[in-house]
Amino acid sequence: MDNITRTIYGSTLQTYLFVGKPVRYIDNTRLNERFDIEKDTLPTTNQLPKMGYFAIGNGGHRAIVGENNITINNPVIHQATDASCFNPLPFVLVEPSADLAPADRANYALRKQVVIQGKTYIAYYLRRIANIPNLVDMELRVVDGESVVSEPFVPTQDNLFPTPPDLSPDNINVLSGKYATASLKLLLGFSRTEIDHLRNVAKIMYGSELYAIISEIAMVSAVDYPVQVTVPGGGNFTFNEVIGAQIVAHVNVYYQMVYNNDELNIAIDAGAQEPLFKTDLLILP
């Protein structure tokens, strides 16, 4: 099961939106600051951010030597206050003269010119999430160890007219392992071309495709922001950049792209869950 850490930045954003107040951004919370991309530009009060983007990194794991000298990868879990990946990776690195075609470029954001080993590249650090579902599902989930059983939740009159539980001062509430969940299932897909881009990123940055590892995914909220980009040799084009980019959740995964010869699909549940309590209450001695 993936380890998901919701961030304080996502919770703050959610609270602003819940109460209908303008979102306020404070320093050292935005990926724009991390990458020095439109870092002084903030969304207006009428521009509402959405979680429609994701970033990747290869710092979410640590190799350790286990039994029989077998090397295993241990997850390194983010804290709720982490505002960036441990070690961000661009999705694409291309020479300025061989930039992405406009249709492909539209899938990315946080575009930045970088220098690696004395050579200039264009890096893209953020990808837009395609095909976000329109419907949020309500589910009841029962967790038993590593097993999770889900079923649809359909409210009844009992939910609309709830009955207070019979409590006494000597009782405490006990978690039941059952959760009410608002579920929005996203599919973060990588085509063969996108996997090849990541392999190329690893070769440029580390000298080997073996370093094309995704071990951390950051779900990001932001606002689209068109900018003018000047190209080598003159001319310019409009690029759909983002501002107010904040990580709302970190997801710990492990995919070594050198072993993916076809496409890769990573399933992420962007919903939230609330614990339910046992109906039979534990009585303190």
- 186-204 per-position pLDDT tens digit: 999 999 999 999 999 999 9
Cβ(79)–Cβ(4) under 8 Å?
no
Q: Taking residues 225-240, what's their average pLDDT?
A: 89
Q: Taking residues 137-145, what's their average pLDDT?
A: 83
Question: Interior CA angle at 42 toward 79 and 243, to 5°?
Answer: 65
Cβ(183)–Cβ(151) under 8 Å?
no
**Residue 282 binned pLDDT confidence (cut-offs 50, 70, 90):** very low
Nearest to 228 by CA among 220, 215, 214, 239: 239
Q: Taking residues 92-121, what's their average pLDDT?
A: 96
**Residue 248 binned pLDDT confidence (cut-offs 50, 70, 90):** very high
5 or 271, which is more confident: 5
CA torsion, ordered 73, 77, 78, 84, to nearest 10 deg: 10
For residue 23, give the 3-state DSSP assignment: coil
User: How many other β-carbons are positioned within 10 Å of the β-carbon of residue 229?
Assistant: 15
